[in-house]
Chains A and B, each alone.
Chain A
């Protein structure tokens, strides 16, 4: 099976300003790929280039093996897209929007829109201009998914959703993955990305600086350990161990970070009377910020 998305040095320049530069990624069918970066890094430019809303100035993108420029209509028959800051005008209702999209897609009826509306408690009968941002976003999610696409492109999908609906969204993404749908997701919500993505790409100043499996990314990252010993004199010895950094000792308690395995630390601590120990995996946010600090020099 061909990858859902393949880009080769994909570049979009706006005069002297770089939108994205030399981005090479592959997203397989049934994979959830997170695209991370701060505002202005190039996430939305990447998505709009994949969708042929803007045209690349270099490189290439293939979706389902089809050229993203020449065959964009055929590609769009097989994908669903939720734009960042979803809008559709103030007067139309969600049901009218779904009706039009269904006709444009050649779908009889409205697919699974009704069941999704129930699931997300979306009001499809009120004009979109009368809905809150979160409720509009639910309509946008339904429009992106009601036709059971093979690829979902989601730009900040949970903006405005309440925590319950965010959970429902994550469950839906997991179900779409099970169905074999590929998901390309740009998000600021790193907790959400951590929970749902198989791999992430990190973009900085228009360039892709890392692509990692989520598990590898978190596994590589330094855990934060807090230890309390009956005999606090032994705590300062921890600094001599390899892989330990940011050691702070205060009131019989040490906090430090450990890169790699915990085994050397456990063995060193075994010589003491340990009254408490806690090892915390870093959040994606910490990993992400670490990447930015390292890459930023």
Chain B
């Protein structure tokens, strides 16, 4: 069993090796650029931020921007990285299932003694590894940016901030498998889950902007995302969101097992 999943994960990562670089390098360079320019914009930013409406600062997690970690949170980790990684997660998981169905590979794989659930599990596990590799690449390039600029970024804090994106993105991989239980068209799966991703982000944003609507944030996984680069990883939220992702993946695998795979 482990051998089959291992073989499928290795193949998935080999197939998506270009994608790993295509996502990890630009995100890492962007993040490095943010760290690089921080020393030169530090003073001006602090003044500008003081004039921002408090609700806006709260909504986007913008603090005082007194250090590079706060700047990285505001520029990268509050919006760009979670949305980008959430989208990457659904793209990755879809490539292993609906993409395989479209290319004909699914029929070939299901000629072998491997269950659909195991295929779905392998696709989920491979996506988890792919996300981790992209995040590690991003942290490495960000750290290099700090070294070059002398921005004094705490590598531990950066690692916590980026690692905290991993379970969040994984939730959308799980939802991608659920969507595969209903459609084997990659455009439908990615479109539907990307829609959920943006909707959840907006729900969380609205809940933060209007205290009267804060209850709606429970409908969004972003409520449990937090600000790990400054506050550290919240273990319960990290484990809870990871567990939610696994539950979604398990439900998706159950649906995928039961559906017809039409030609």
Q: Does chain A bind chain B?
A: yes
A interface, CB within 8 angstroms of B: 44, 48, 51-55, 73-74, 76-77, 79-81, 83-92, 96-97, 100-101, 103-106, 140, 143-144
> Which of A74, A79, A83 is within 8 Å of B108, CB to CB?
A83
- The residue of chain A having its C-beta at the shortest distance from the C-beta of B102 within the complex is A87
Chain B 1-19: CB-based contact to A (< 8 A → 1; otherwise 0): 0011001100100110000
Q: Is the CB of A91 within 8 A of B111?
A: no
Q: Is the CB of B114 within 8 A of A89?
A: no
- The residue of chain B having its C-beta at the shortest distance from the C-beta of A92 within the complex is B15
Docked Cα-Cα span, A226 to B127, in Å, equals: 70
Q: Is the CB of B4 within 8 A of A104?
A: yes
- The residue of chain A having its C-beta at the shortest distance from the C-beta of B6 within the complex is A103
B interface, CB within 8 angstroms of A: 3-4, 7-8, 11, 14-15, 100, 103-105, 107-115, 258, 260-263
Instruction: Please report whether the interface of chain B is mostly helix, strand, loop or mixed according to DSSP.
Output: helix
Q: Is the CB of B108 within 8 A of A88?
A: yes
> Which of B14, B104, B262 is within 8 Å of A48, CB to CB?
B262
Q: Is the CB of A53 within 8 A of B110?
A: yes
Docked Cα-Cα span, A8 to B3, in Å, equals: 36
Docked Cα-Cα span, A109 to B261, in Å, equals: 30
Q: Is the CB of A86 within 8 A of B15?
A: no
Docked Cα-Cα span, A77 to B261, in Å, equals: 19
Q: Is the CB of B103 within 8 A of A88?
A: yes
Distance in Å from the Cβ of B201 to the closest Cβ of chain A?
A: 32
Q: Is the CB of A143 within 8 A of B108?
A: yes
Contacts of A89 in B (CB 8 A): 15, 100, 103-105
Taking A53-B260, A53-B262, A85-B104 as given, write out 16 further A-B residue pairs in contact, using a Cβ cutoff of 8 Å, ordered by the A residue number: A44-B263, A51-B110, A52-B110, A53-B107, A53-B110, A73-B115, A76-B110, A80-B111, A97-B108, A100-B7, A100-B11, A101-B109, A101-B112, A104-B112, A105-B112, A106-B3
Docked Cα-Cα span, A51 to B262, in Å, equals: 12
Docked Cα-Cα span, A77 to B111, in Å, equals: 8
> Which of A83, A90, A96, A103 is within 8 Å of B3, CB to CB?
A103
> Which of B105, B115, B262 is within 8 Å of A87, CB to CB?
B105
Docked Cα-Cα span, A53 to B101, in Å, equals: 11
Docked Cα-Cα span, A86 to B112, in Å, equals: 15
Docked Cα-Cα span, A114 to B257, in Å, equals: 34
- Between A and B, 22 residue pairs with Cβ closer than 8 Å are A48-B261, A51-B111, A54-B260, A73-B115, A76-B113, A83-B107, A83-B263, A84-B263, A87-B105, A89-B15, A89-B100, A89-B104, A96-B11, A97-B108, A100-B8, A100-B11, A101-B108, A101-B111, A104-B8, A104-B112, A105-B112, A144-B111
Q: Is the CB of B103 within 8 A of A81?
A: no
Q: Is the CB of A54 within 8 A of B110?
A: no
Distance in Å from the Cβ of A55 to the closest Cβ of chain B?
A: 6
Q: Is the CB of B113 within 8 A of A73?
A: yes
Docked Cα-Cα span, A144 to B108, in Å, equals: 9
Q: Is the CB of B263 within 8 A of A73?
A: no
> Which of B4, B14, B104, B107 is within 8 Å of A103, CB to CB?
B4
Docked Cα-Cα span, A83 to B262, in Å, equals: 12
Distance in Å from the Cβ of A291 to the closest Cβ of chain B?
A: 25
Docked Cα-Cα span, A87 to B263, in Å, equals: 12
Distance in Å from the Cβ of A76 to the closest Cβ of chain B?
A: 5
A104 touching B7 in the complex, CB below 8 Å, given contacts A76-B111, A86-B104, A87-B104 = yes
A91 touching B15 in the complex, CB below 8 Å, given contacts A76-B113, A103-B4, A104-B7 = yes
Docked Cα-Cα span, A55 to B11, in Å, equals: 28
The 8 closest A-B pairs by CB, nearest first: A87-B104, A77-B113, A103-B7, A81-B111, A104-B112, A54-B260, A89-B103, A83-B107
Interface centre among B11, B110, B114 (most CB of A within 10 A): B110
- The residue of chain A having its C-beta at the shortest distance from the C-beta of B14 within the complex is A96
Q: Is the CB of B260 within 8 A of A104?
A: no
Interface centre among B105, B112, B114 (most CB of A within 10 A): B112
Docked Cα-Cα span, A108 to B14, in Å, equals: 21
Distance in Å from the Cβ of A250 to the closest Cβ of chain B?
A: 49
Contacts of B110 in A (CB 8 A): 51-53, 76
Distance in Å from the Cβ of A98 to the closest Cβ of chain B?
A: 11
Distance in Å from the Cβ of B52 to the closest Cβ of chain A?
A: 47
Docked Cα-Cα span, A51 to B114, in Å, equals: 12
> Which of A79, A85, A92 is within 8 Å of B111, CB to CB?
A79
Interface centre among B4, B15, B113 (most CB of A within 10 A): B113
> Which of B114, B262, B263 is within 8 Å of A104, CB to CB?
B114
Q: Is the CB of B114 within 8 A of A73?
A: yes
Distance in Å from the Cβ of B104 to the closest Cβ of chain A?
A: 3
Distance in Å from the Cβ of B160 to the closest Cβ of chain A?
A: 36
- The residue of chain A having its C-beta at the shortest distance from the C-beta of B119 within the complex is A104
- The residue of chain B having its C-beta at the shortest distance from the C-beta of A74 within the complex is B113
Q: Is the CB of A48 within 8 A of B15?
A: no
